[in-house]
């Protein structure tokens, strides 16, 4: 997912990344991993190779064992030539009990440094990342192991009416960045705001300026949930977590007719995926992660999900190896 306003990108899961251009991978600052089965984590090495020279820290979020898994990956290589490299990796392991954190620094040959016992676990309350532009939340699900569901919700959008600026005889510039920050910060409507306009300066009440030049619209919510057992508790959690999503990316591994197999393998069915999206009020359902057994009858999965959802679903990367 490209975050255009911040000129960076984030990843949900670390599957095979060979199809992504290196220039785009270099923009990645955060990866949100559902769990560390091989098809969801095999791309870590590819990401690492592209990011070694990056001065921007790389943050990896995942289930409670993600720190050990990152450490294991890094220990698989010899790092005698990277003392001058800038890359820092921060790993965050999430469970209902709290959030652990460990750092891996290239200059220290990626030897792990975990937080002290006093600060080792921070409370887990659902929100993982929050800034001026978006919020990332997590939910802990069961897949025989922990599996983390993720959502990202934008803050509202602020678009500037360029024609209104022309009418006011002012130009765009750094002042608009300050103006937008003040909108997001809830600046008082009756405060005076100064606009540079060539050799003059215009003072206007903040609320009046906002009404004249700012077009404010709601942001989007995208949810991403992969391997999850088809239990009532998981279904309840996912439905509440994904509520109101503009887009929900959800596994649809089996058909309802193979429910017993779905329970054995701890995966959702297409019918369950459709019903979750319907009950959550999702606008667009993207199904993915099908069992290879349906390779010749893939249409049955999208039909079942569409019937349960009550609308046409979108298909994304339908086939991955079964775990």
The pLDDT tens digits for 26-76 are: 999 999 999 999 999 999 999 999 999 999 999 999 999 999 999 999 999
Residue 225 has pLDDT above 80, yes or no: yes
Mean pLDDT of 90-115: 94
Residue 303's Cβ-side half-sphere holds a number of Cα atoms within 13 Å equal to 5
Q: Which strand (E) or helix (H) includes residue 199?
A: none
Please tell me the predicted confidence (pLDDT) of residue 121.
74
Closest by Cα among 311, 156, 158, 159 to 247: 311
pTM of the model: 0.86
* Neighbour-count burial for 54-76, b at 16+ CB within 10 Å, e otherwise: beeebbbbbbbbbbebbbebbee
Mean pLDDT of 230-245: 98
Residue 290 has pLDDT above 50, yes or no: yes
Rounded-to-integer distance, Cα 105 and Cα 112, Å: 8
Comparing 137 with 321, which gets the higher pLDDT?
137
Comparing 5 with 270, which gets the higher pLDDT?
270
Residue 268 has pLDDT above 50, yes or no: yes
Please tell me the predicted confidence (pLDDT) of residue 198.
78
Per-residue pLDDT of 161-187, as tens digits, reads 999 998 888 888 899 989 988 988 889
Ranges 62-66, 130-134, 210-214: which has the least confidence: 130-134
What confidence tier does 123 reach under pLDDT thresholds 50, 70, 90?
A: confident
What confidence tier does 281 reach under pLDDT thresholds 50, 70, 90?
A: very high
What confidence tier does 120 reach under pLDDT thresholds 50, 70, 90?
A: low
């Amino acid at each position: 997912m490209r975050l255009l306003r911040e000129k960076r990108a984030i990843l949900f899961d670390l599957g095979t990344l060979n199809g992504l251009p290196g220039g785009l991978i270099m923009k990645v600052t955060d990866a949100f991993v559902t769990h560390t089965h091989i098809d969801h984590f095999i791309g870590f090495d590819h990401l690492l190779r592209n990011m070694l020279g990056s001065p921007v820290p790389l943050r990896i979020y995942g289930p409670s064992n993600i720190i050990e898994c990152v450490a294991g990956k890094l220990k698989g290589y010899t790092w005698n030539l990277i003392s001058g490299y800038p890359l820092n990796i921060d790993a965050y392991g999430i469970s209902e009990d709290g959030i652990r954190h460990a750092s891996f620094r290239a200059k220290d040959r990626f030897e792990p440094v975990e937080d002290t016992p006093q600060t080792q676990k921070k409370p887990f309350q659902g929100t993982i990342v929050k800034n001026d532009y978006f919020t990332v939340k997590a939910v802990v699900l069961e897949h025989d192991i922990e599996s983390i569901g993720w959502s990202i919700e934008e803050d509202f959008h602020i678009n500037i009416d360029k024609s209104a600026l022309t009418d006011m005889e002012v130009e765009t510039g750094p002042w608009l960045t300050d103006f937008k920050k003040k909108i997001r910060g809830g600046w008082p409507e009756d405060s005076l705001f100064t606009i540079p306009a060539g050799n003059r300066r215009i003072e206007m009440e903040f609320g009046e300026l906002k009404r004249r030049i700012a077009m404010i619209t709601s942001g989007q919510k995208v949810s991403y949930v992969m391997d999850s057992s088809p239990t009532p508790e998981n279904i309840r959690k996912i439905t509440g977590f994904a509520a109101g999503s503009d887009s929900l990316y959800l596994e649809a591994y089996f058909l309802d007719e193979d429910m017993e197999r779905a329970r054995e393998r701890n995966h959702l069915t297409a019918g369950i995926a459709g019903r979750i999206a319907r009950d959550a009020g999702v606008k667009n359902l993207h199904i993915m992660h099908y069992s290879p057994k349906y390779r010749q009858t893939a249409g049955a999965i999208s039909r079942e999900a569409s019937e349960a959802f009550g609308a046409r679903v979108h298909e994304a990367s339908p086939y991955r190896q079964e775990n």
